[in-house]
Each structure stands twice: as structure tokens, then as C-alpha cells.
Structure 1
Amino acid sequence: MFHTEKVSENYINKDNCPGYYNYVELSDGVNRCVLTDKYVDHYAEEIKNFEVFDDDIWVITFPKCGTTWTQEIVWLLNNNLDYEGAYNTLLDVRFPFIEIGAIVKDPRDSINHCKNLQRPRHIKTHLPKFLLPNQIWTVKPKIIYVARNPKDAAVSYFHHYRHIIGYTGTKDEFFDAYLAGKLLHSPINENVLEFWKLRDEPNILFLYYEDMKRNLKEEILKMMNFLGKSYTDEQIDKLCDHTSFKSMKINPSVNREQRIKTVKTVHNYVSKDENFTFMREGKIGSHHKEMTEEQKAKFDKYMAWSEFANVGFEYKTK
């Protein structure tokens, strides 16, 4: 089904990444994506053959592009603003990550979790278009895709790798691997572009993280209309407050506190920053204080990828 090739340990290796699985690049001859040997052996075919229903809701992003934020908004919009249900049930249970069982060292069967959800099902993924279930393109469930400036996404992913996967290498090494497309779910450009090309499909809503930060209410209204829901201004204002970064950061049903505790106590590495939280800053432009001018220049060149220019796509950077 796919050509597979082991990713060189010159990028991310077991010595500086103890949460490491064996990384494998999957390709269909045109597109590529880095996942794990476990994904290839146990998940790829099952996900391709996954049964899709027309009332499914899929949130798709590249990692660290506002996924959790969007999930919480979408779940509440599609569940009559059931805040009690949202508070009392972890987001990972309500809105599971279909390939997570192949990403982290965890025995969970995330595919069956998604299969057995009560309909309408809410499913998260970071998979690129070519690895998604075949039925997505025939059944056409609603898909919300969120894109983010790769500089900010890369900075956030760097901290994620350090504290969740145990990465101990340098920023330079990490950013080089990011731009080379050698990290989990990479490369970002191909992931984003494939969904940008589909943005006018009636079952796809393409959003930007930066727009959500600048005017959350406007973007929530887009999601509300896309999902065929109707709420009052007062109800939307309450949802904006519930899903503000300040509120999300202290909400245990979405802030992944338990996952951080597991990383610190179960795995064979300890976060360098005892104050690290999954929701770290949530800002536009965080790369300005975390990247050198040389690193920024490398990303600028990457973001200007010629195929993007050919279709008129631009990341939002301001």
C-alpha cells in the first residue's frame, strides 16, 4: 500500500530522545509522512479501511496548531453546549486521537476507541490526506482543518518533544529535523497544502490559528454555521470565555495534566521543567524570542515553498 523507509537517526535518535519509537517515512510516491514502525505494522491498513459515517466530525491539524482548542469548541457546539459533560469527561475520551496508540508508548487501542464512540463521533488526527480513511472521500463527513505559522508551531513542537517525548538535543538540531520533515507527522507544508486545495469543498472548513487568536468569536461563528447549529450571542460569549487560553490552561478535562504526570512518573525520563504544562503560552509570534535570525531565515525560505506560491497560499504571520 505504501513505500516505507526508516528515518535516519542523524535527525532524532534514541540517545537524545528516550520516548522515541522507530520512525518510518511512509510514501505513496507523491506524498510522504513520518510515523512509527508500530503505525506501519498495526495501524496504517486499519485506518485506511476505517468505517466513516456522514455525521462524523473530524478535526485535522499538523501538531501544535490549535488542535485541542478547536476540539473543545467543536465538541461543545455539536453537543448543545454541554459544559457539565465537557468538564466531567476528558477531551481525549470525548474526542479521541485515532492514531495515538501508534505514537506513544501506550497499550491503548485508539482505533477501537473511535469505532465505538456514540454517534455523532468526534475524531482527531494529525494524519495527512493520503493516510486518512478511504471512506472520508466518499462519505464526506465534516472536516475542520486548522493551519498555523510553522515558526510558532515548531517552537511549540520543540517544547512538546522535550517534555512529552524526552528530547534532549539542541534547538538547531530539532528545527533542522522539522524543516527536513523528519519528525512525527512531518512535513507540515505538505499536510497543510493538501487541505488548502480542498478548502472550497462543502464538507471542509479551513481555519487559521492566528484568526482564532485575534477574533475567537468570529471563528466560533464560522464553526457554528458549518456544523448547522444556532446559538445566541450570549451563549457564544460564554463559549469564548470557556475556551479562552486562560480558562483552557486550568481546565483538567482538556489541559492534559494526567498525561504530563504519566510522563514524569512512568517513563524513564523526567521533564527538565517541573512547571511545564501542555498548554504553554498559546501566543502569536512566540518564535521571535525563541529563534535566532538564522533559524528564522531558514523557516522563511521553507514557508515560501514555490508550490504554495503557485496556488496562492500564504501562512498568516502577523
Structure 2
Amino acid sequence: MCFLAESKINRIVFLSTVTDSFPKRHKGPSLTSPQRPTMRLASGHVAVQLHGEELTKIQKDFKGFGKGLVRLTPGGWLLPAPYTKFADKIYNTEFRASDVVIMTYPKCGTTWTQEVVWTMRNNPNFNHPKAGIPVKARSPFVDSDMLAHLGKDVLNSELLELVKDIVPHPDPDEGLALQLTANIPDPRTIKTHLPFSLMTPNLLDTAKVIYVARNPKDVVLSFHHHSRLMKSMSYVGSLDQYVDYFINDQLIYGPYWEHLREAWPRRDHPNMHFVFYEDMKADPMAELRKLNQFLGTDLTEEQLEKIAHYTSFEEMKRRDDFYREKEMQRLDQEVSKKDGGFFRKGEAGSWKGHLTDTQEAKINAWTKDNSQKLGITFRYSL
């Protein structure tokens, strides 16, 4: 059975059944059902197409997932089905010693960190000719091609226009983000929401990685808004249902804790910088100084202070609002007008007053079990 067989045949083994199983901590359905379309990836994972009641339920609440979803084993990673088209290309991406990869679970301060790092490395004196274009064209989101292929209205014509002077012959079908990643000049700052196991094995030994973590209560609230706002997801369910999706590992790019489990033990690697979103919000200058040392940018205190202002939430929102006018077709306008756009609050502790006691209790119990096993502690307010 051929399932999304766009990748080279000598790098993929197609299976009619799956013999692998999830780690016991995974709460989702088993992958051992017979005759389900599957695909073995270069990473060694097996991608299994979701079907039946689970897929029906998710697609009812996430209108943007009409092309289906896949779950990978081991790990239990849940991703849009178009991921399999680009999975091996992402895994085999060649990284350079001068690269910095920003890795996060969604809604953990990724875009903010991208702008900070790109500015520190490429625009410390605010005179770079490309500084005015959106960050996604300066710092590519390497795994975003699977999201751009979720619907016919989300092929990202704006990005195509932005990359024309960087990519010789851009082809959306081959992945604009992947082509942009391969062609932008050094030093490259690259974003991913994928975990270490789905990236090239020598990533951390080749490039620098900045991993940003955020407390799960703020993550679920921010991701809920994002899922409603973006037409590529078009979430129409309730917040209560969304919390259940989150703690049951049924949101894309999850499981949340597995993402952290792959990063946290690597935090002492010399090429790894592990930072908490809450610490960045509490004392931006302190974190900029740490980044300055990690990146070897050797910036002055005055430069860092100006960068802290330039990359503040208010300044980034102001710049983003200008460009968002050009890609309104990607956003749910009703959600944007009522609850805010891509840059909504940018706070630590915004979950307070939004999560019910029941929702908070669910997340607390789930967090207590997982965080103790991992040995990680979060700040939930400043």
C-alpha cells in the first residue's frame, strides 16, 4: 500500500501492519491495528495514518486537518499527514557549524527567540537590509511546509514572493521552507517545532541549539488561541476539550512531555542552551547576556539594551501587525478581532482567570507526574 509516497523509494519501506508499540506513558490508541497505511521514515520512525473514531473526533474539532494525521512510533508524535512528504528531507538537512537551531514545542516563545537571536547575530546595529521583512523569511521554519500543504488557500504566496531573491527557482511543491533553509546566507538561524529524534542525529554535535520551554498551563492556553486563529488548523471545539487533547497527547507536535524528555537531558551539552520562557520575560537583559556568551556575539551592554527594546513584545507586535495585513487569508478574522491576532499577550501567567478549576486540576495532576519523573520545575507566574 502506497501512503504519500513522494519520498525516494530506496529510503522508505512500506508496511501493511505495524509491530512497534508506544511507550507505556502514551495514552493514545495502539498502532497495532492491522491493514493501516504505514510508512517507515529515514529517522527510523514508523508513520501510521490515523483512522476511525480518533481521526473522526479530531477532524470534527480541527476543520483544517482534512488531509489527515499520522502518528509516529516510537514517541507517539502526532503530525499532519503532509509531514511524510517532507520528513526525510528535514531529517537529512545538512547543518553547519555556524547554524543556530531554535527548537521548541509550539507556543513557547519561538518567534520571539528567533527575532532576538537573528538580530544579535545579523543585525546588532540595526542596519541589515533584510531586517524589515518578516522573520519567517530571515529565519526559516524548516518543518512548516507540512502546514502550508494542509489546504489550498494556505500555500503561502507571500512567502513565495519573499524568497524569490533568495531561492533561485522556488517550488512550493518541494517545500519553500526547506528551499529557503538551504539557500539563506550564513549565519543561519533556523526554527523547528520537531523534537531531536526527528532531526538529523548529528545536529547537536554540528550546530548550536537553543531550546525554549514554557509552563504547560500557558502553553495550552496560547496553543488553543493559535489553533482557533490559524485556518490551517481551524479549531472549533471548546477550551475544555482542548485541554483534554493536550493532556492526552492528541495535539500536533506532541506529546508535550516527550518533547521535553528529549531535550532536558541534553541541556549540559556545550552546543545546547536550554532556556525557560518565564526567565526571558522576568529578566530579558540577563537572558540576553547568557545568549551573548553562548552565541559568541561579543555585543556591548548598550547593544544588548537596544536589542531588548527592539525585540520587546510591543515592538514585535507593532511590526507584525503591519505584515499581517498582507496575509489575512490565513487567519480567522472573527477570532482575530475578538481575541487577538498572532501576538496576543506574550505574558507569563496569562492562564490565570482563563482555566477553570477543573481544567487546572487536570493539568496539575498530569504535570506533577511527568515533571517529577523528568526533574524539571516551572514558574507559573512572575
Instruction: Normalising by structure 2, report the TM-score.
Output: 0.76
2:105 to 37, 51, 62: 62
Paired residue for 2:215? Answer: 149
Structure 1 residues 222 and 127, CA, compared in 2 at 3 Å: closer, same or farther? same
2:200 to 133, 138, 157: 133
Is 2:68 the partner of 1:22? yes
Is 2:346 the partner of 1:282? yes
Q: In structure 1, give the amino acid aligned to 2:380.
A: T
Residue correspondences, number: 307
- Percent identical among aligned pairs is 31
Q: For 1:188-207, what per-residue CA distance to the aligned partner results, in whole angstroms no more than 9, with x for missing partners? A: 11111211110000000000
Shift of residue 10, structure 1, vs aligned partner = 5.3
Alignment of 1:218-237 (within 5 A): 218-237=286-305
1:160 to 226, 230, 233: 226
Shift of residue 256, structure 1, vs aligned partner = 6.0
Secondary structure of residue in 2 paired with 1:54: coil
Structure 1 residues 255 and 196, CA, compared in 2 at 3 Å: closer, same or farther? farther
Q: Which has the larger radius of gyration?
A: 2
Query: Whose RCO is larger (CA < 8 A, sep 6+)?
Result: 1
Paired residue for 1:271? Answer: 334
Q: In structure 1, give the amino acid aligned to 2:263.
A: F
Give distance in 2, aligned partners of 1:154 and 1:192: 15
Paired residue for 1:116? Answer: 183
- 1:146 touches 1:209 (CA, 8 Å); kept in 2? yes
Displaced runs of 4 or more, over 6 A: none
Give distance in 2, aligned partners of 1:277 and 1:204: 32
Structure 1 residues 19 and 310, CA, compared in 2 at 3 Å: closer, same or farther? closer
Q: In structure 1, give the amino acid aligned to 2:201.
A: N
Secondary structure of residue in 1 paired with 2:352: helix
Q: In structure 2, give the amino acid aligned to 1:309.
A: Q
Shift of residue 311, structure 1, vs aligned partner = 4.2
- 1:50 touches 1:135 (CA, 8 Å); kept in 2? no
Instruction: Normalising by structure 1, report the TM-score.
Output: 0.90
Give distance in 1, aligned partners of 2:323 and 2:193: 17
- 2:78 touches 2:253 (CA, 8 Å); kept in 1? yes
Paired residue for 2:49? Answer: 6
Which runs of no fewer than 5 residues in structure 1 stay unpaired? none
- 1:73 touches 1:239 (CA, 8 Å); kept in 2? yes
Shift of residue 258, structure 1, vs aligned partner = 4.7
- 2:122 touches 2:187 (CA, 8 Å); kept in 1? no
Q: In structure 1, give the amino acid aligned to 2:342.
A: F
1:200 to 251, 258, 268: 268
Structure 1 residues 256 and 295, CA, compared in 2 at 3 Å: closer, same or farther? farther
More deviation, 170-179/128-137 = 128-137
Secondary structure of residue in 2 paired with 1:194: helix
- 1:211 touches 1:219 (CA, 8 Å); kept in 2? yes
Paired residue for 2:12? Answer: none
Q: In structure 2, give the amino acid aligned to 1:156.
A: S
Paired residue for 2:124? Answer: 81
- 1:65 touches 1:146 (CA, 8 Å); kept in 2? yes
- 2:55 touches 2:68 (CA, 8 Å); kept in 1? no
More deviation, 96-105/84-93 = 84-93
Shift of residue 291, structure 1, vs aligned partner = 0.6
Secondary structure of residue in 1 paired with 2:70: strand
Q: In structure 1, give the amino acid aligned to 2:198.
A: L
Shift of residue 82, structure 1, vs aligned partner = 4.6
Q: CA RMSD in A?
A: 2.0
Alignment of 1:238-253 (within 5 A): 238-252=306-320
